[in-house]
Amino acid sequence: MKISLKMPDRLQARSFRAAACWILYTTLAACQITDRANEEDPDDLAYFPPVQTTPTVSSSQPVQGGDLASVQPVTYHNLWDRIRASLSLQSTYSHPRVNKETARYAGNQEYFDLISERAAPFLYWIVGEVERRAMPMEIALLPFVESAFSSNARSGEGAVGLWQFMPSTGRAFGLQQDWWYDARRDPRAATAAALEYLQTLNEEFDQDWLVALAAYNTGSRNVRRALRRSGFLIGEAEFWNLPLNSETRTHVPRLLALASVIADPSAYGVELAEMPNAEPLSYIDIGRQIELEQIASLADLEIACVRTLNPGYLRWATHPKSPQQIAVPKSRKELLERGLAELDPSRYIKWEHYTIQPGNTLNGIAQKFGTSAETLRVINNLEGSTIIAGQPLFIP
Active site residues: 146
C-alpha to C-alpha distance for 199 and 193, rounded to whole angstroms: 10
| Start-to-end C-alpha separation, the chain | 36
C-alpha to C-alpha distance for 94 and 100, rounded to whole angstroms: 10
Amino acid of residue 11: L
C-alpha to C-alpha distance for 230 and 292, rounded to whole angstroms: 53
C-alpha to C-alpha distance for 153 and 27, rounded to whole angstroms: 19
C-alpha radius of gyration, the chain, whole number: 23
Q: Which residues of 44-55 are buried (b: 16+ CB within 10 A; e: fewer)?
A: ebebbebbbbbe
Phi, psi of 313 (to 5 degrees): -80, 125
Q: Which of 285, 139, 114 minimizes the C-alpha distance to 213?
A: 139
